[in-house]
Amino acid sequence: MVRKIVLTWCLFNLYCTKTKAVISWEFALALIMAAFILPCIVLYFRMETQQQRRRHDITEKECLRRMLRETETHVRNDKSLFLEALGVPFLLMRASGRVVMGNQPAGELLGMDVACCPNLLKLLPPCELKTVIAELLAAQRQETRTLSLTVQGEPRHYVLTATPLHNADHHIGVVFHDVTEEYRTQVIRRDFVANASHELRTPLTILRGYLETLLENPQDSQDEVYRTRALQVMRKHTERITHLVEGMLTVSRLEGGGSPQLRCEQFDFSELVADVALQLESLMQQGKVDFAVRLHCTPFMVNGDKFYWSQIIFNLLENSLKNNMSPGLQLEVGSVAEPDGGVRIYVQDNGVGIDAAHLPYIFKRFYRADATGKVKGTGLGLSIVRHAVEAHGGSITASSTPGVSTTFTICLPRQ
């Protein structure tokens, strides 16, 4: 700055010398000050412009950082929503066994927080799950394994599918498919085939035996007493086969899709219960059953398909009798009026009861709570009951305290 002032003063003197001009010292001082102030003003505006540009850059960078954070949050949320939307346990893992990401069902299945990216091969105790995961990670190609786990005290069956991803980190996606219902269905179907075959084989064997005896021994066929007895036994077992086939056909009609064709009519429910009890009289006498009917009104008129209602009451009573062969069973059919105009029909006994583990499945087709084989049947009865009740717009539930009581409750809407 001093150099500029000196240079300005020298130039001013040189100008005055050549032009021989006489200039006052005030004018000279003003020129010198102008030469000093103008650069300062220019410098100030230049610095102010740079400061504004710097503030603008800082604001823009902060905006970009905020947008980046929001984008990362959106991507993370989208990934989380996508993983949760899968509806099945899913893990994205490294070959070392460390979890990169996973959804909530996977964390619940493994019993740990997968968001913390744990290493499963180090944290899991020695078990079938750890062995299967190690095999899938080591395969480095798409592999499938089956696995049985106990989840919340209930056995579950899974199919694990591992798919290597062709990315830089060589991640591996593992999906857990719950096939418990399919597994149970296969077991139930297998048991049904065995039970149905047994149910059919026994009466067919008896029928064949009597037919062969009557055909091969004419003298026996001429004995009226023997012939009458043989025909009675053959009729009994023919009815047994017919009952089994009718049960299958009834389930087929009820599960055939859409609403089954109901032949609705008004009938006295107490008379229907009496007819069904008469059909099961031999079983009741055999077990010395104390049977009672307690309806909330007489007559208790019901509007529905009498055939299907006969199937409902027959199967509920027969189910109770077959599962409680010890003498002294107390069996009751009753009804209670609901405040909304509906009605509740119940079938109750004080027999052995149903274990809580079986209650959610007893209305499934072919399901049998008795795994010992002591109770004969195909597992169709309660399935027929549920479908027939639902066809009439009602619902059925079961509750049981083993050794105390078992109650099947049918809730019907206002008719």
Residue-wise pLDDT tens digits, 220-234: 667 778 778 888 888
**Confidence bin at 26 (pLDDT 50/70/90):** low
Please list, in sequence order, all residues whose beta carbon lies within 8 angstroms of the beta carbon of residue 103, skipping any fewer than 6 positions away.
80, 83, 84, 86, 89, 90, 114
Q: Token pair 């539930």 is at which residue?
A: 397
pLDDT above 70: residue 32: no
Please give the Cα distance from 318 to 257 (Å, whole number).
27
- What angle, rounded to 10 degrees, do the helices at 25-85 and 2-19 form? 140
Q: What is the CA radius of gyration of the chain?
A: 44
Buried b (16+ CB within 10 A) or exposed e, 352-375: bbbeeeebeebbbbbbbbeeeeee
Q: Token pair 């002591």 is at which residue?
A: 374
pLDDT of residue 259: 56
pLDDT of residue 260: 61
pLDDT of residue 410: 92
Calculate what percentage of the chain has a pLDDT beyond 70: 79
Calculate what percentage of the chain has a pLDDT beyond 90: 7
What secondary structure does DSSP assign to 105-170, as a single string?
HHHHHHTS-GGG--BHHHHS-SSHHHHHHHHHHHH-S-EEEEEEEEETTEEEEEEEEEEE--STT-
pLDDT of residue 12: 58
Are 392 and 342 spatial neighbours (Cβ–Cβ below 8 Å)? no
pLDDT of residue 246: 74
Residue-wise pLDDT tens digits, 361-382: 888 776 766 655 555 556 677 8
pLDDT above 70: residue 3: no
The whole-number average pLDDT for the span 32-40 is 70
Better-predicted residue by pLDDT, 131 or 76: 131
Please give the Cα distance from 384 to 182 (Å, whole number).
21
Tokens (6 digits) for 235 = 């009729």
The whole-number average pLDDT for the span 201-208 is 80
Are 363 and 387 spatial neighbours (Cβ–Cβ below 8 Å)? no
The whole-number average pLDDT for the span 386-409 is 89
User: What amino acid occupies position 80?
Assistant: S
pLDDT of residue 409: 93
**Confidence bin at 347 (pLDDT 50/70/90):** very high
Residue-wise pLDDT tens digits, 239-249: 777 777 776 77
Please list, in sequence order, all residues whose beta carbon lies within 8 angstroms of the beta carbon of residue 376, skipping any fewer than 6 positions away.
195, 198, 199, 322
Better-predicted residue by pLDDT, 398 or 88: 398
pLDDT of residue 155: 82
Tokens (6 digits) for 275 = 């007819």
pLDDT above 70: residue 63: yes
**Confidence bin at 346 (pLDDT 50/70/90):** very high
pTM for the full model? Answer: 0.53
pLDDT above 70: residue 266: yes
Tokens (6 digits) for 306 = 């009498």
pLDDT of residue 10: 64
The whole-number average pLDDT for the span 345-353 is 89
